[in-house]
């Protein structure tokens, strides 16, 4: 039994060795190891008739743009932070993030008990002030009648007029205070200023509401823009109204859109400017989506060949070079694609001729 097991292991080892040798020999052959010493990366092929001119192309060198991508976030053109106008405890918040609201809907309710007590006291004060004003007015009318009949002195008449005016002024003052209290009572209800969507809920019931401190944030889901921070060196080449390329990753959409606004102020820390791009309305686009602004910012000299000239052998990139009527196989490394041409990073020189038709490959 032990002998049989040993023989199996020997056969398996022999198989592994044979396969390895075959792969090594194949690689050596592909590298031109059996056709004499050649320049590294180049393998000469058998001589063949000159190919038609339309099946060849020269390696050209030209300036190409470096397309850079800047990240941004989709935001609404209309955004509002809903905040109290007075200091009071938050009793209730009726919405959550993602809820749709209509103009005038109640967003949150503040504690109104102190204001209700002030309103009650103001109503009582107003009742007393009105009674006093009514009595002073009656005295004024009575003294005026007596004064016309010369039954009252001028001093009595002037005193009655002054008391009537003072009482009415006091009543008017209380009315003003009551109006102010009722306006503050109305402010205990936070209402939606427009039809929109709640994007943030920043407070909870029981929290203290403070003037200017948002409870929720609303935005209109229409009129969306991609807001992108672009380095100042590249932002200077952009202009309002210019069409730029935008990609929204979530929707796998790439399209052109116009620049709506460029904030002139530069961020002192990042040395960037805020670019706002008006997005077209299409299904599924929502505030908060992540996107990219693609921009040609710089240029560099690149060697370009037709993409059809590149053949692939596993992970190797190969072209056929025509020189002095002979074809040779050349290993290259490619970079970015520009239309129907591809950039060659290494392996070729400007002016060399490459084959572009697969039928020419031997």
Compute and round to an integer the Cα radius of gyration of the chain: 43
More confident residue, 265 or 32: 265
Question: What is the model's pTM?
Answer: 0.52
Q: What is the mean pLDDT of residues 26-55?
A: 51
Q: What is the mean pLDDT of residues 33-41?
A: 43
Q: Is 336 helix (H, G, I), strand (E, B) or coil?
A: strand
Q: How confident is the model at residue 1 (pLDDT cuts 50, 70, 90)?
A: very low
What pLDDT, on a 0 to 100 scale, did the predictor assign at position 52? Answer: 61
Contact 319, 334 (CB under 8 A): no
The answer for residues whose C-beta is within 8 angstroms of residue 115's C-beta and 6 or more apart is 181, 184, 185, 188
Given a cut of 50, is residue 249 above it in pLDDT?
A: yes
Residue with tokens 């407070």: 203
Residue with tokens 């200023």: 193
Q: Is the dihedral of CA 353, 359, 361, 362 positive or negative?
A: negative
For 122-144, how does the pLDDT look when each residue is reduced to its tens digit (9 = 90+)? 999 989 988 988 998 888 888 88
More confident residue, 13 or 36: 13
Q: What is the mean pLDDT of residues 352-358?
A: 80
What pLDDT, on a 0 to 100 scale, did the predictor assign at position 303? Answer: 87
Contact 66, 56 (CB under 8 A): no
Given a cut of 70, is residue 17 above it in pLDDT?
A: no
Given a cut of 70, is residue 175 above it in pLDDT?
A: yes
Please count the other Cβ atoms lying within 10 Å of the Cβ belonging to residue 36: 7
Q: How confident is the model at residue 295 (pLDDT cuts 50, 70, 90)?
A: confident
- Exposure of 19 in the CB half-sphere (CA atoms within 13 A): 6
């Amino acid at each position: 039994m032990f002998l049989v097991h040993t023989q199996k292991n020997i056969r398996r080892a022999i198989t592994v060795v044979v396969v390895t040798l075959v792969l090594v020999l194949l690689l050596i052959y592909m590298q031109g190891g059996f056709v004499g010493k050649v320049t590294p990366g180049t393998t000469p092929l058998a001589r063949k008739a000159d190919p038609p001119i339309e099946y060849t192309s020269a390696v050209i060198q030209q300036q190409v743009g470096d397309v850079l991508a800047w990240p941004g976030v989709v935001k609404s053109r209309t955004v509002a932070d809903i905040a109290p106008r007075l200091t009071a405890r938050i009793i209730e918040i009726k919405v959550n993030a993602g809820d749709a609201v209509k103009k005038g809907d109640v967003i949150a309710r503040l504690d109104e008990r102190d204001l209700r007590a002030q309103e009650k006291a103001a109503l009582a004060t107003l009742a007393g002030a009105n009674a006093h004003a009514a009595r002073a007015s009656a005295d004024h009318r009575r003294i005026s009648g007596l004064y016309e009949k010369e039954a009252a002195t001028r001093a009595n008449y002037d005193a009655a007029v002054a008391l009537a005016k003072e009482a009415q002024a006091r009543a008017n003052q209380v009315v003003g205070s009551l109006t102010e209290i009722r306006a503050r009572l109305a402010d205990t209800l936070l209402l939606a200023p427009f039809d929109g969507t709640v994007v943030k809920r920043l407070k909870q019931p029981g929290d203290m509401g403070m003037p200017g401190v948002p409870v929720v944030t609303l935005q209109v889901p229409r009129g969306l823009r991609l807001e992108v921070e672009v380095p100042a060196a590249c932002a200077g080449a952009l202009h309002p109204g210019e069409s730029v390329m935008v990609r929204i990753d979530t929707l796998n959409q790439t399209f052109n859109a116009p620049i709506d606004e460029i904030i002139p102020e530069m961020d002192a820390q990042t040395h960037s400017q805020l670019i706002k791009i008006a997005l077209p309305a299409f299904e599924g686009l929502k505030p908060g989506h992540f996107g990219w602004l693609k921009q040609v910012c710089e240029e560099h000299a690149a060697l370009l060949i037709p993409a059809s000239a590149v053949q692939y052998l596993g992970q190797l990139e190969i072209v056929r070079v025509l020189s002095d009527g002979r074809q040779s196989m050349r290993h290259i490394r490619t970079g970015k694609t520009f239309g129907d041409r591809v950039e060659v990073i290494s392996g070729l020189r400007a002016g060399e001729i490459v084959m572009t038709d697969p039928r020419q490959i031997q």
